[in-house]
């Protein structure tokens, strides 16, 4: 039996000789666009930003795009534009990044955690329905790892209970559900362009929507409460300044020019991984859904079933990394974070503590079994690994098989 690399054996992939693709991918187009903005002296919100907004909205098959400085503020902007505010409840998945919840709190609303579908790690429409109350005003489905959530189920819920749908599409640039781009499937959706993302300018965000009123309100909110046709020092709302710069837009326009090809390549390499991993005992790949007509892979996710192995998931990650395969654990259930349990701290948002609401938000007893299990089982491979040639995915498969054979 071949010795494991962690025990001194030869790794499946020697990264000093055969590194994985680096991220971000950039080149002369970014340099040219940045220089053009620099030499123009017009660095403030202008033509590059407007061009990127239009092009990215079209890429997601939406009518309108409104940019900002991060995916987090894009969520805050979306909640504001959908008129979510004091005392409202918003259903969110327990398995997601902190911003999905913190944006709700920043809107002076209350995040309510619902469980996920363990097979996909996305919010489960049935679990979301069970958490509805007379205070519920919106649902935020998150397209984890780029896999669209069950938007048929969420749109049915929204219609039945008169709810807003705000898609957290910060992992799903290019994903499509029944041929329609994510972000444009609900009332609005938001994207992130942070450094780790599949299209990046270091930071940045954008809201897409097919609804003109939402787009106009979001634009005003992001631009200090101004309206486009009014004088500069007229303010119609209590907005904020979260505008995107021309430099960010210059980089993103170049990044967007590669996104179509990169998305298709990641889909192809992910299919190779699916084929190679799905029959290994103790490994569960994400099942395919025919309603997902294109998928962006921000992550390639599979589940490690400890009961079928003689090692823990965390030990498996160590062994995998030693073999030259970059891998990490996924999220922990969000309600475990201390932010949801330190209500006595000064400055805590009013929505969760205000006596006028008639109750104090309680998170001590929240427990979502599927989210707990996902946090113990998931293995994440980064999106840039999927940019390697298809045949190099065999290194990932071989590493998993090698570890399996050793135990």
d(CA 313, CA 407): 13
Look up residue 84 and give its two tokens: 């979510």
- Active-site residue 233, yes or no? yes
d(CA 206, CA 53): 8
Cβ(105)–Cβ(111) under 8 Å?
Answer: yes
- Name the catalytic one among 171, 176, 211, 383: 171
d(CA 188, CA 194): 20
SS3 category, 345: coil
- Active-site residue 171, yes or no? yes
- Active-site residue 143, yes or no? no
- Active-site residue 243, yes or no? yes
Cβ(97)–Cβ(194) under 8 Å?
Answer: no
- Name the catalytic one among 137, 176, 197, 211: 197
d(CA 52, CA 393): 33
Look up residue 154 and give its two tokens: 């969420």
Distance of alpha carbon 144 from the chain centroid: 6
- Name the catalytic one among 233, 238, 342, 359: 233
Helix (H) or strand (E) holding 161: helix 151-161
Instruction: List 176's β-bridge partners, or say none.
Output: 181, 294
Look up residue 146 and give its two tokens: 């780029």
- Name the catalytic one among 26, 50, 194, 315: 194
- Active-site residue 97, yes or no? yes
Task: Mention every residue, 6+ apart, whose C-beta is less than 8 A from residue 396.
Answer: 273, 276, 277, 325, 381, 385
Across the beta sheet with 176-177, the strand order is: 180-181, 176-177, 292-294
- Name the catalytic one among 88, 115, 168, 395: 168
- Active-site residue 284, yes or no? no
- Name the catalytic one among 164, 219, 243, 298: 243
- Name the catalytic one among 97, 247, 343, 363: 97
d(CA 104, CA 76): 7
- Name the catalytic one among 155, 226, 266, 298: 226
Helix axis angle for 47-59 and 246-277, nearest 10°, is 20
Active-site positions?
A: 97, 168, 171, 194, 197, 226, 233, 243
């Amino acid at each position: 039996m071949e010795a494991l690399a962690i025990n001194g054996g030869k790794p499946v992939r020697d990264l000093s000789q055969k590194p994985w693709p680096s991220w971000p991918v950039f080149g002369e187009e970014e340099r040219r666009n940045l220089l053009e903005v620099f030499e123009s002296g017009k660095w403030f919100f202008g033509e590059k930003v407007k061009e990127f907004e239009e092009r990215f909205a079209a890429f997601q098959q939406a009518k309108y795009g409104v940019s900002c400085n991060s995916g987090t503020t894009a969520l805050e902007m979306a909640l504001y534009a959908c008129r979510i505010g004091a005392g409202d409840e918003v259903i969110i998945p327990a398995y997601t990044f902190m911003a999905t919840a913190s944006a709700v709190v920043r809107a002076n609303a209350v995040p309510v955690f619902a469980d996920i579908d363990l097979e996909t790690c996305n919010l489960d429409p049935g679990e979301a329905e069970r958490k509805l109350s007379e205070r519920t005003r919106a649902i935020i489905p998150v397209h984890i790892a780029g896999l669209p959530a069950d938007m048929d189920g969420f749109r049915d819920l929204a219609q039945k209970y008169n709810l807003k749908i705000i898609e957290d599409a910060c992992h799903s640039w290019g994903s499509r559900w029944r041929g329609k781009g994510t972000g444009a499937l609900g009332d609005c959706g938001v994207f992130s362009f942070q450094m780790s993302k599949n299209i990046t300018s270091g930071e940045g965000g954008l809201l897409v929507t097919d609804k003109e009123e939402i787009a106009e309100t979001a634009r005003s909110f992001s631009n200090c409460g101004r309206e486009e046709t009014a004088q500069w020092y007229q303010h119609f709302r209590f907005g904020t300044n979260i505008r995107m710069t021309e430099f960010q837009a210059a980089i993103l326009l170049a990044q967007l020019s590669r996104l179509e090809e990169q998305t298709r390549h990641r889909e192809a390499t992910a299919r190779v991984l699916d084929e190679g991993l799905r029959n290994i005992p103790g490994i569960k790949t994400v099942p395919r859904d025919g309603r997902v007509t294109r998928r962006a892979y921000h992550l390639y996710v599979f589940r490690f079933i400890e009961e079928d192995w003689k090692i823990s998931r965390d030990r498996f990650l160590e062994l995998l990394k030693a073999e030259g395969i970059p891998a990490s654990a996924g999220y922990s259930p969000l309600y475990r974070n201390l932010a949801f349990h330190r209500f006595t701290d000064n400055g805590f948002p009013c929505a969760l503590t205000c006596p006028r609401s008639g109750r104090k938000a309680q998170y001590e007893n929240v427990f979502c079994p599927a989210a707990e299990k996902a946090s113990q089982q998931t293995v994440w491979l980064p999106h840039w690994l999927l940019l390697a040639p298809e045949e190099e995915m065999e290194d990932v498969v071989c590493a998993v098989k090698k570890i399996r054979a050793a135990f």
